[in-house]
Amino acid sequence: MKQFKYFLDNKLKQANAYKSNIDTVAICKLSVKDQDYFDFISFIENGGFFFGQSLQIYDHSNSHGFNNIIVVNSMFKKEFNFLFKDVFSFGQDIFGNQFVFDEHNGEVSLFNIESGQIDRLAKNFAEWMDVFVADVEYLTGRIYEQEWKADHEFPFDSRLQPKLPFVMGGDYSVSNFYINSYPSYISYNADMAKQIYNLKDGEKIKLNIKY
């Protein structure tokens, strides 16, 4: 598929590459039934960073870090608990929002890391690629990575995080950003998401924000 090549052409070459592991692939196939996804992972040489570091696609290696799809999903399920039920993440944007498969119907959605809200993007992986390619800037947050990198370092294990959360009205600007590393950005946001889950419109709450 032409989208496969588009992703590969925009892959960051400086990041470490890990070999695919047959056991990791087998575990993934328990949650993901979409063959287009597995063909994609093979074509792009097992995950990595794309469009700078704004999109991370998790790999199928046997590593134990932030790049491994099983490790990351285990961390999300542990920290977000019921909010991350029946979904399986394969990648993330610049802020750590997750691109996830529905484990039952195969639909692809965006999991908001601050609120735990899940918004459907596509009926399957092939459609997700079409949606993604049509709106790369928005779905990656690449412009914010570029603005940040103009004056700051950006380690591979990190994501941008707002000082004042977006769900509390925080600005999408470098002055409101800082770097948070794996797995801290997951636990930080999970704590917040569980506090605001199921709030009614206009309902007030005093958030306990852990910095």
Distance CA 211, CA 192 (A): 11
Provide the CATH number for the domain around residue 146.
Answer: 3.40.1580.10
What was the pLDDT predicted at 29?
Answer: 98
Q: Is residue 206 part of a domain?
A: no
Domain that holds residue 41: 2-196
Q: Is residue 78 part of a domain?
A: yes
What was the pLDDT predicted at 203?
Answer: 67
Task: Report the chain's C-alpha Rg in angstroms.
Answer: 17
- pLDDT confidence band for 209 (50 / 70 / 90): low
Query: How large a percentage of the chain has pLDDT more than 70?
Result: 95
Is pLDDT at 108 greater than 60 in this prediction? Answer: yes
Closest by CA to 18, choosing from 67, 89, 73, 91, is 67
CB atoms within 10 A of CB 173: 10
Residues 122-157 pLDDT 10s: 999 999 999 999 999 999 999 999 999 999 999 999
- pLDDT confidence band for 199 (50 / 70 / 90): confident
Query: How large a percentage of the chain has pLDDT more than 90?
Result: 89
What was the pLDDT predicted at 71?
Answer: 98
What was the pLDDT predicted at 206?
Answer: 67
Average pLDDT over residues 61-67: 96
Is pLDDT at 65 greater than 60 in this prediction? Answer: yes
- pLDDT confidence band for 14 (50 / 70 / 90): confident
pTM (predicted TM-score): 0.95
- pLDDT confidence band for 7 (50 / 70 / 90): very high
Q: Is residue 142 part of a domain?
A: yes
Q: Is residue 84 part of a domain?
A: yes
Is pLDDT at 202 greater than 90 in this prediction? Answer: no
Q: Is residue 17 part of a domain?
A: yes
What was the pLDDT predicted at 211?
Answer: 57
* Mean pLDDT for all residues in the chain: 95
Q: Is residue 211 part of a domain?
A: no
Average pLDDT over residues 77-92: 98
Q: Is residue 203 part of a domain?
A: no
What was the pLDDT predicted at 45?
Answer: 95
What was the pLDDT predicted at 74?
Answer: 99
Complete DSSP assignment for 78-92: HHHGGGGTTEEEEEE
Q: Is residue 208 part of a domain?
A: no
Complete DSSP assignment for the chain: -HHHHHHHHTB-TTS------HHHHHHHHHH---HHHHHHHHHTTS-EEETTTTEEE-B-SS--STTBHHHHHHHHHHHHGGGGTTEEEEEE-TT-PEEEEETTT--EEEE-TTT--EEEEESSHHHHHHHHHHTHHHHHTHHHHHHHHTTS---TTEEEEESS-GGGT--SSGGGEEEEETTHHHHHHHHHHHHHTTPPTT---------
CA distances from residue 83 to 74, 171, 197, 211 in whole angstroms, order as listed: 13, 25, 9, 21
Average pLDDT over residues 25-47: 98
Domains contained in the chain, number:
1
